[in-house]
Amino acid sequence: MVDRIDDAVIIEHVLISVSDKRGLDKLVLTLVRINPHVKIYSTGGTFKAITEILKEKAKDHLIQVSAYTGQPEMQGGLVKTLDFKIYLGLLSETYNEAHRQDLKRVNAVTIDMVVANLYPFKKTVETPGVTPEHARANIDIGGPCMIRAAAKNFLRVASIVDPDDYEDIITELEQSNGRISLEKRFKLAEKTFAFTAEYDAAIAGYLAERDFDELSACYTMNKGFR
- Residue 79 is predicted with a pLDDT of 77
**Residue 225: pLDDT above 70?**
no
Number of Cβ within a 10 Å radius of residue 98: 9
- Choose among 36, 28, 86, 29: nearest CA to 60: 36
Q: What is the pTM of this model?
A: 0.92
- Residue 4 is predicted with a pLDDT of 93
Domain boundaries, the chain: 9-216
**Residue 153: pLDDT above 90?**
yes
Give the mean pLDDT of the chain.
93
- Residue 220 is predicted with a pLDDT of 87
CATH number, domain 9-216, options 3.40.190.10, 3.40.50.1380, 3.40.50.720, 3.90.1150.10: 3.40.50.1380
**Residue 104: pLDDT above 90?**
yes
Q: Quote the percentage of the chain above a pLDDT of 70.
A: 99
The secondary structure element, H or E, covering residue 160 is: strand 158-160
Number of Cβ within a 10 Å radius of residue 106: 12
**Residue 119: pLDDT above 90?**
no
**Residue 226: pLDDT above 70?**
no
Helix 142-152 × helix 182-208 angle, to 10°: 150
**Residue 149: pLDDT above 70?**
yes
Average pLDDT, integer, range 124-148: 92
